[in-house]
A and B are shown apart, each in its own frame.
Chain A
Amino acid sequence: GESVGLHLPTLSVQEGDNSIINCAYSNSASDYFIWYKQESGKGPQFIIDIRSNMDKRQGQRVTVLLNKTVKHLSLQIAATQPGDSAVYFCAENFAPGSARQLTFGSGTQLTVLP
């Protein structure tokens, strides 16, 4: 079946810089996308979501961009802090109109350097 994938498994950024984490999805029928953050020893924590009728959504220090033309999703983190170090997952809400489930990408490890 179709799945969500990530371009890079690891990303290192300097503290204070902006981070961009990318995600490619293949199911054109998916209409809802979510970003989760998972710290070591914890479950995934919701960051931000976006519906397919939107191109951009902003939260506190985070922005999600959706490009349906190329089936691409990105998460931008402004002024990255040490506490942002974690694995980031994108997920798509699969199978509109029927029993839904979240399909997760493989994750990107973000490391914030001092």
Chain B
Amino acid sequence: KAGVTQTPRYLIKTRGQQVTLSCSPISGHRSVSWYQQTPGQGLQFLFEYFSETQRNKGNFPGRFSGRQFSNSRSEMNVSTLELGDSALYLCASRPSTADGEKLFFGSGTQLSVL
């Protein structure tokens, strides 16, 4: 079974631009979560989607948004990019949002904002 796939692997943008990152979960997984990873802040939760609905949201500004499609694939968007948005963005999937369901992570998209 293929793992979580994230595209692109690397991305370079300039301040003020917007970016869209893509995530394909493991087949059969209906929940997709997004995390931001930086050296200073570690892994921080962005949001989780299940059945095309946002179920939970972390403490990030409204410039960060996401969506999930009927095939469970997910995208996240960051508008008006800032230098501080440079990070590794990780997508993770799990079968459902039930208790004890562990997350399976992709390799991430490394975003650099210049």
Residues of A near B43 (CB, < 8 A) are 44, 89, 91, 104
Task: Determine if A100 and B56 form an interchain contact, defined as CB atoms under 8 angstroms apart.
Answer: yes
Q: Which of these, A49, A101, A106, A107, contacts B102 with CB under 8 Å?
A: A49
Task: Give, as a whole number of angstroms, the nearest-CB distance from A89 to chain B.
Answer: 7
Task: Give, as a whole number of angstroms, the nearest-CB distance from A59 to chain B.
Answer: 13
- How long is the Cα–Cα vector from A52 to B100 in the complex, in angstroms? 11
- Is the interface on chain B under 10, 10 to 19, 20 to 34, or 35 or more residues? 20 to 34
Residues of A near B108 (CB, < 8 A) are 43
Given contacts A34-B102, A44-B43, A106-B42, contact A101 B107 (CB under 8 A): no
Task: Give, as a whole number of angstroms, the nearest-CB distance from B78 to chain A.
Answer: 19
Residues of B near A100 (CB, < 8 A) are 56, 97, 99
- How long is the Cα–Cα vector from A77 to B10 in the complex, in angstroms? 33
- How long is the Cα–Cα vector from A89 to B92 in the complex, in angstroms? 15
Q: Which secondary structure characterizes the binding site on chain A?
A: strand
Within 8 A of B (CB), among A83-105: 89, 91, 93, 96, 99-105
- Taking Cβ atoms with an 8 Å cutoff, the residues of B that contact A are 4, 33, 35, 42-45, 48, 55-56, 58, 90, 92, 97, 99-100, 102-108
Query: Nearest 3 A-B pairs (CB), nearest first?
Result: A43-B105, A99-B56, A104-B43
